[in-house]
Structure 1
């Protein structure tokens, strides 16, 4: 009886070792996927979905280091106005480079009210599943 009890305890311990965890780690989307979600929200003019892709302390720069926007609240204010003023706004990704947590997109932007279509290069830095920094090259 003693051996039966010991065997059952050992089997129970082994079962726990090989069991799937109750809360498996959820793999976060890739940096490219995060930026793609941001581009889609931009094209839809969906300010809430757009802002959700950014870190709270996001910074945007005119390349190389001219600070344009600092913080998600500033970003939301600027882009909400931009989306409202340009309902036909659309960015098409025409080229891309992915290197680690950096996503570099060459974009063709159309639908700027009263303006001309233009090409831009955006260098996105994604950390912990959020866009932390963007450098715009024009």
Structure 2
């Protein structure tokens, strides 16, 4: 729980990295600590997916139930309070394990993610190759 307050005062890049680390650790409290209480998630240029910690918690916990869930950072660009990550996500889809690329755009204000938008690529069957 030491990470919960650790996000405040950090750079936008550090906040988004803490979010990614918490996502991969499936640590819902640390993950929500990186988001503003009224944060919003959207599809890129589209519908709202979630607003506020209660909806974010529900959305993330559904993902965390997937045993193979993992996000691998491919690239990151930072411009002021905007952080853009390209990620390769390993998921457990109804048809079996697979991967998809995502473009994740985070707007960080006052040490928390205020808004996130996601563009999702095609699903590909199989696991992501290990690059660690």
Structure 2 length normalisation: TM-score? 0.79
2 CA distance for matches of 1:29 and 1:105? 18
Structure number with greater Rg is: 1
Alignment of 1:25-64 (within 5 A): 28-64=9-45
Moved over 6 A (4+): none
Aligned residues, how many?
Answer: 111
Gaps of 5+ in 1: 1-26
Q: Is 1:77 aligned to residue 58 of structure 2?
A: yes
Alignment of 1:1-138 (within 5 A): 28-84=9-65, 86-113=66-93, 114-138=96-120
2 CA distance for matches of 1:34 and 1:94? 17
Report which of the two has the higher share of strand.
2
Structure 1 length normalisation: TM-score? 0.76
Gaps of 5+ in 2: 1-7, 121-132
